[in-house]
């Protein structure tokens, strides 16, 4: 136990951000690094509970009380080993995870929970600084070759596990650089791309081969991949966007969120792109969708110099504290105000977009109406009803649709292999993560639908074990 009375003496201290006036001028990380002393103090609050529900809340089962104690005692190398034993990429989750574990922290019953995510980030950054993050090269080489299609968090975790098991791993990515949604879907102000490059260098040192600009099914034939590799892991994400099929959708100036964010990330990194520039400078921007992707669009638009930014969400405003429907230790639906929201945005909830109105083929405003969810059906589910006489308009000469994704793209390798899909259009796989095609596995959003980075890592780890068992008959890789 870090400090038996730590949680009584020390209060939770949130991460600090750079001033809005400064961070809006660049795309650098909005967070300020936390001192080692503050990290030790925050780790001392961990009570080392008899039944640590943080384990239960974490999809990868992090050894949270153990490495909190080691962080408190400044045992960097040992803390890193505990952390890395369950989490392949704590530098990603430490910056991006919504920290499911913190909402199931026992201390959170009657006090503020431990800063688990920030403590995790402190450990991995201290480990990189100390030079203890190195490739774990297997002494035994199996001679088996595995292709990983997609280099997002799921694909990278598959590759990271399998090379440690002694397999020859090649990661294929259709974009110019490795990283998938980590690189192209998340702005630098949340995840600077040198953080990804640093991890890729470690994996390269372990023998993983990365092949960018390789669209399987187009640049490289699917039949060739089947011929060259003993097993294939599909981790292509869930990239088919959900559209808003209302009057005026065809107007210019309306974009999908991922198209907007991917282009912005390419521009910031200096990559070339052929698409027409999507620029919010001097425009009244409307972001439809209240999730994290919508928040990222808000932050991006403000950095591009938008005249104003409005974000609307069809669902009702979430509460500030737990409701009876999500008691501890369940993950609650709470109102989330991000660093991007703090930089300037008008937020509205319970708003349904009815149509877009334009001039000369370009969007100029959105016609909306307020909706109510107070009525329930026979099953107790909320029924959305339009509020009479509540129609209004929002001026907007740029609209970004951030309303989620439907399923993975079916063109290419999914179609080539005639893979069976589930009722939502995701790639169907059995309990061992194998698809309807023998030797072809699927992980992450491609299999389970759009989800969190920590779930993608969890899926990747489990898929890697399944592939190892398929190739070798047994596996020493962890089951979680």
User: How far is 271 from 21, CA to CA, in rounded Å?
Assistant: 27
> How many other C-beta atoms can be found within 10 angstroms of the C-beta atom of residue 86?
21
Task: Reply yes or no: is the peptide bond before residue 329 cis, omega within 30 of 0.
Answer: yes
Q: Residue 130 is encoded by which pair of tokens?
A: 């100390």
Q: Is 90 exceeded by the pLDDT of residue 290?
A: yes
- Structural domains for the chain: 6-130 (1.10.1060.10), 145-239+406-472 (3.50.50.60), 243-403 (3.50.50.60)
Contacts of 378 (CB under 8 A, 6+ apart): none
Q: What is the mean pLDDT of residues 455-460?
A: 98
Summary mean pLDDT of the chain: 96
What's residue 379's pLDDT? Answer: 87
Please say if the pLDDT value at position 315 is more than 80: yes
Instruction: Convert the pLDDT of each residue in 421-455 to its tens digit.
Output: 999 999 999 999 999 999 999 999 999 999 999 99
Give 283's contacts (C-beta < 8 A, 6+ positions apart): 306, 307, 397, 398
The strand ranges marked E within 230-318 are 231-234, 240-241, 254-256, 284-288, 308-313
pLDDT of residue 313: 98
Q: What is the CA radius of gyration of the chain?
A: 23
Number of helical H runs and strand E runs in the chain: 19, 16
In the predicted structure, residue 2 carries a pLDDT above the cut 90: no
- Cα angle, residue 260 at apex, residues 424 and 298 outer, rounded to 5°: 100
Verdict on whether the full-model pTM lies above 0.75: yes
């Amino acid at each position: 136990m870090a400090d038996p009375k730590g949680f009584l003496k020390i209060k939770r201290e949130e991460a600090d951000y750079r001033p809005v006036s400064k961070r809006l001028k660049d795309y650098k990380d909005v967070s300020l690094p936390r001192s080692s002393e503050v990290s030790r103090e925050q780790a001392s609050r961990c009570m080392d509970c008899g039944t640590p529900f943080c384990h239960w809340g974490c999809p990868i089962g992090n050894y949270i009380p153990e490495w909190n104690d080691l962080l408190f005692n400044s045992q960097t190398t040992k803390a890193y080993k505990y952390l890395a034993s369950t989490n392949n990429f704590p530098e990603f989750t430490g910056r991006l995870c919504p920290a499911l574990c913190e909402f199931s922290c026992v201390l959170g019953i009657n006090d503020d929970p431990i800063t688990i995510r920030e403590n995790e980030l402190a450990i991995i950054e201290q480990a990189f600084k100390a030079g203890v993050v190195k490739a774990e090269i297997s002494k035994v080489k199996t001679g088996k070759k595995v292709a990983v299609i997609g280099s997002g968090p799921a694909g990278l975790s598959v590759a990271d596990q399998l090379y440690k098991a002694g397999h020859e791993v090649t990661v294929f990515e259709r974009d110019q650089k490795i990283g998938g949604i980590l690189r192209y879907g998340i702005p630098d102000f949340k995840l600077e791309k040198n953080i990804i490059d640093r991890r890729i260098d470690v994996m390269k040192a372990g023998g993983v081969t990365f092949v960018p600009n390789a669209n399987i099914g187009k640049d490289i034939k699917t039949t060739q991949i089947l011929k060259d590799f003993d097993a294939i892991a599909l981790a292509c994400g869930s990239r088919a966007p959900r559209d808003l099929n209302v009057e005026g959708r065809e107007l210019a100036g309306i974009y999908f969120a991922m198209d907007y964010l991917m282009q912005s990330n390419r521009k910031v990194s200096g990559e070339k792109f052929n698409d027409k520039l999507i620029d919010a400078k001097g425009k009244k921007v409307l972001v439809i969708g209240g999730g994290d992707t919508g928040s990222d669009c808000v932050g991006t638009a403000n950095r591009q110099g938008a005249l104003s930014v409005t974000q609307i969400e069809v669902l009702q405003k979430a509460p500030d504290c737990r409701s009876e429907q999500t008691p501890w230790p369940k993950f609650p639906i709470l109102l989330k105000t991000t660093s991007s929201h703090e930089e300037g945005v008008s937020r509205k909830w319970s708003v349904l977009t009815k149509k877009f109105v334009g001039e000369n083929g370009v969007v100029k405003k959105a016609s909306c109406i307020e909706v109510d969810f107070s009525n329930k059906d026979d099953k107790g589910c909320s029924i959305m009803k339009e509020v009479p006489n509540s129609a209004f308009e929002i001026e907007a000469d740029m609209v970004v649709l951030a309303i989620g994704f439907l399923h993975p793209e079916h063109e290419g390798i999914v179609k080539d292999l005639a893979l069976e899909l589930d009722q939502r259009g995701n790639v169907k796989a059995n309990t061992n993560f194998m698809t309807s095609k023998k030797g072809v596995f699927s992980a992450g959003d491609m299999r389970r639908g759009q989800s969190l980075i920590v779930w993608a890592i969890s899926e990747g780890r489990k898929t890697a074990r399944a592939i190892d068992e398929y190739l070798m008959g047994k596996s020493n890789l962890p089951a979680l």
